[in-house]
Amino acid sequence: MAERKVVSGEVELWSEDFGDPRDPALLLIMGANASGVTWPEEFISLLVAGGHRVIRYDHRDTGRSTYRDFTRYPYSVTDLARDAVSVLDGHGVQRAHVVGLSMGGTLGQVLALDHRERLLTLTVMLTAALGVDFVGNMERASKGQPTLDGLPTPDPRVLAVLARRSEPVRDRASELDRRVAEWRALSGDKLPFDASEFRRYEERVIDHAGSLVQPSAHALATPVPLVRGAELRGITTPTLVIQGGQDPLNPPPHGLHLAQSIPGARLVELPNMGHALPSAIHQPLADAILEHTHRFA
Q: Quick one: how far is CA 10 from the chain centroid?
A: 23
Q: Catalytic: which of 8, 15, 65, 102?
A: 102
Residue 2: strand pairing partners: 17
> Is 282 one of the catalytic residues?
no
- Residue 132, number of CB atoms within 10 A of its CB: 22
Q: Catalytic: which of 52, 218, 257, 275?
A: 275
Residue 239: strand pairing partners: 122
Helices assigned H by DSSP within the chain: 41-49, 77-90, 103-114, 134-142, 156-162, 172-186, 195-209, 254-261, 279-295
Which strands form 96-101's sheet, in the order they lie side by side? 2-8, 11-18, 53-57, 25-29, 96-101, 119-125, 239-244, 266-270
3-class DSSP state for residue 275? coil
Q: How does DSSP classify residue 16?
A: E
> Is 275 one of the catalytic residues?
yes
Q: Catalytic: which of 17, 58, 247, 257?
A: 247
> Is 247 one of the catalytic residues?
yes
3-class DSSP state for residue 135? helix
Q: What is the C-alpha to C-alpha distance for residues 91 and 82, in angstroms, rounded to an integer?
A: 15
**Helix, strand, coil shares of the chain as percentages rounded to 5?**
45, 15, 40
Residue 228: strand pairing partners: none
Q: What is the C-alpha to C-alpha distance for residues 55 and 118, in angstroms, rounded to an integer?
A: 14
Active site residues: 102, 247, 275
